[in-house]
Amino acid sequence: MVESNSATSETRIVIVDDEEDIIAALKLMVERWGYVVEATASDGTQVVDGIAKKKMRPAIVLMDYRMKKMNGLEAAEKIRLIDPSIRIIVESADDAAEPEVTKAGLSFLRKPFTAAQLRSALGKALNGQTPDR
């Protein structure tokens, strides 16, 4: 099957998760597929601040839903106010998060997910689509 993923060496991603092991695994995968991990963060406040100060200019933010200071949905709402062109994928193992995330018009990726599901979600985000459920 041919992927419609249009990642280039200029497609920048920011990964936000409060677990370092998850950040490391996601970073490894997306870099293999040709994305550039511009930055990582452990909380929503860090990514919002980085984007607001133009220290981060990602095409996609891949972000956990549950984090200590600012959750993924709160961060996504603030990011969209700063730069609505940034695509945001919120991932979570919490089933209750999905309706809230999709109602906000964001892409949702249920944990645990496979590498193929992540790759598909990233490709669809670049094309303005939501991931398969």
- What is the domain-level CATH number for residue 33? 3.40.50.2300
Side-chain half-sphere exposure of 29, counting CA atoms within 13 A? 18
Encoded tokens for 62: 């891949």
Q: Is residue 72 in a domain?
A: yes
Give the number of domains in the chain.
1
> What percentage of residues in the chain have a pLDDT greater than 70?
89
Encoded tokens for 95: 């089933």
pLDDT digits 0-9 by tens, 104-124? 989 999 999 999 999 999 999
Pairwise CA distance, residues 60 & 94, whole Å: 22
User: CA of 31: how far to CAs of 26, 49, 102, 110, in Å?
Assistant: 8, 24, 27, 21
Q: Is residue 48 in a domain?
A: yes
Parent domain of 70: 12-126
In degrees, to the nearest 5, what angle opens at C-alpha 11 toward C-alphas 8 and 14? Answer: 145
Mean pLDDT of the chain: 89
Give me the helix-helix angle, 20-32 and 115-126, nearest 10°. 70
Pairwise CA distance, residues 98 & 39, whole Å: 25
Q: Is residue 133 in a domain?
A: no
Q: Is residue 50 in a domain?
A: yes
Q: Is residue 131 in a domain?
A: no
Residue that has been written with the tokens 């961060």 in this structure: 75
Q: Is residue 121 in a domain?
A: yes
Q: pLDDT confidence of 5, banded at 50, 70, 90?
A: very low
Is the CB of residue 62 less than 8 Å from the CB of residue 91?
A: yes
Q: Is residue 5 in a domain?
A: no
Q: pLDDT confidence of 133, banded at 50, 70, 90?
A: very low
Among candidate residues 55, 53, 42, 45, the one with its CA nearest the CA of residue 15: 42
Q: Is the pLDDT of residue 30 over 90?
A: yes
Q: pLDDT confidence of 127, banded at 50, 70, 90?
A: confident
Report whether the peptide linkage leading into residue 58 is cis, meaning its omega lies within 30 degrees of zero: no
Instruction: Give the mean pLDDT of 20-28.
Output: 96
Q: Is the pLDDT of residue 130 over 70?
A: no
